[in-house]
Structure 1
Amino acid sequence: MLGARFDFDLHNERRLAEHLGSSPADTLARFRHVVNSSTAPFGPVQAWLGEVVVHAQDIRRPLGIEHTVPMEAATSVAVFYAGRDFAVNSKSTAAGLRLVANDGPFASGNGPLVSGSTLALAMAMAGRGAYCDELNGPGTETLRTRCGPAAPDDNQKGPGE
């Protein structure tokens, strides 16, 4: 990231070029070679779990692919997002709101209530405004405005992504 001057798109472009094979079959073979790798980027594990959960939903939802994110994973991501701004401004997005999951133990903050599934709360904190349609409570519209405008394809990107 430092070499790309914290330009996420440039960083991703460089990493993709680094890992592409000479053919789709070669790229798949390279991917399969590292599937069980235990190397990981620096930073909190919950941040990288959030990357997996959020971006997997970014892909699944528009394609209509149903998937249940394990509650332990969704809760871990929601707790992390409510507690700090890292890859996204999730803590800032949730500031001044009381977020309460209706399907698990997650609860955070003070202020107008926003309730819904743990996953929908985490996705909204990650800037995915379309998930606000699944949330209820007097703080929901505040949260929606902080997510930014919803993209036509289900708000694929959040602020700064």
Structure 2
Amino acid sequence: MKNNWQLVHQERQALAEDLASLTDAQWSVASSCVAWDVHDVVAHLTGSAGTTRRGFWVSLARAGFDFDRANAREVAAERAVTPAGTLRKYRASMTSTTRPPGPFITRLIEIVVHGEDIRRPLGIKRPVVNLTLEEALIYLSGDRLSGGRKRLAGLELTATDEGFTIGSGQVVLGPALSLLLVASGRPAALENLQGPGLSLLQERLNA
């Protein structure tokens, strides 16, 4: 994918619109991202939008090259006292074109997946946007760092709504967004999938 920031920005804007209608109690709901509530995820997205390549490595080094510790520090720095304060910071970051190391497609994956980490536990349906997820799934299927390569090995994924197939092996079928979520390690999206490869995928996600 070329550096199409317009797609990233539209996803950030769509999430901001959903966040604006949440109650303070909903900001405290556990997200689909392990150990983080909705407020934490928004703080992480805000921090990530402002992270440069150099800043990423400096932060990681200060955290003893522990990704979880670096993320926790980022969340603590960007999480305001109130949800309204954090939402203001998030909105201010939405049009940023700064990014940490890694292919550009990871910027789109991050906002789409974390957006669903927030929406799904709250029962919010993702708005219809002009977005194809094939390239994102192809990337994750070969990515060791995120664990996507291991999760998807020996599986053939077919997006029933977008009409593409990637990989080979036992078949898993379902909406492209749900395939992207399971490829990113989110077991909650398994309920939207079917096929003979589903049991293997479920075993890997719940291991």
Residue of structure 1 in register with 2:187 after alignment: 129
In the alignment, the residues of structure 1 paired with residue 96 and residue 107 of structure 2 have an alpha-carbon distance, to the nearest angstrom, of 15
Report the TM-score, using the length of structure 2 for normalisation: 0.62
Quick check: 1:125–1:147 contact (8 Å CA) kept in 2? no
Inter-partner Cα distance in structure 2 for 1:99 and 1:79: 10
| Distance (Å, rounded) in 1 between the aligned partners of 2:111 and 2:90 | 16
Q: Which residue of 1 aligns with 2:206?
A: 148
Match 1:93 to one of 128, 141, 151: 151
Cα distance between partner residues in 1 of 2:68 and 2:107: 17
1:45 matched to 2:110? The reply is no
Q: What is the TM-score normalised by the length of structure 1?
A: 0.77
Distance 1:74 1:11 in 2: 28
Structure 1: tracts of 5 or more residues without a match: 150-161
C-alpha deviation, 1:49, in angstroms: 1.5
Letter in structure 2 aligned against 1:49: L
Q: Does residue 104 of the first structure (1) align with residue 104 of the second (2)?
A: no
Q: Is the 8 A contact 1:116 1:134 kept in 2?
A: yes
The equivalent residue for 1:4 is 63
Match of 1:82 among 141, 145, 150: 141
CA deviations over 1:35-74 (Å, ceiling 9, x no partner) = 3222111211112211111111111001001114646343
Q: Distance in 2 between matches of 1:19 and 1:113?
A: 41
1:118: how far off? 0.6
- The CA distance in 1 between the partners of 2:164 and 2:130, in whole Å, is 10
Paired with 1:122 and 1:113, the residues of 2 have a C-alpha distance of: 15
| Aligned length in residues | 148
**Which deviates the most, 97-106 or 21-30?**
21-30
CA distance, structure 2, for counterparts of residue 28 and residue 12 of structure 1: 18
Q: Which has the higher contact order (CA 8 A, sep 6+)?
A: 2
Aligned residues: CA RMSD = 2.4
Choose the corresponding residue for 1:62, options 114, 121, 125.
121
- For 1:128 and 1:20, locate their aligned partners in 2 and report how far apart those are by CA, in whole Å: 23
The 2-side partners of 1:78 and 1:18 are apart by 31
Alignment of 1:8-19 (within 5 A): 8-19=67-78
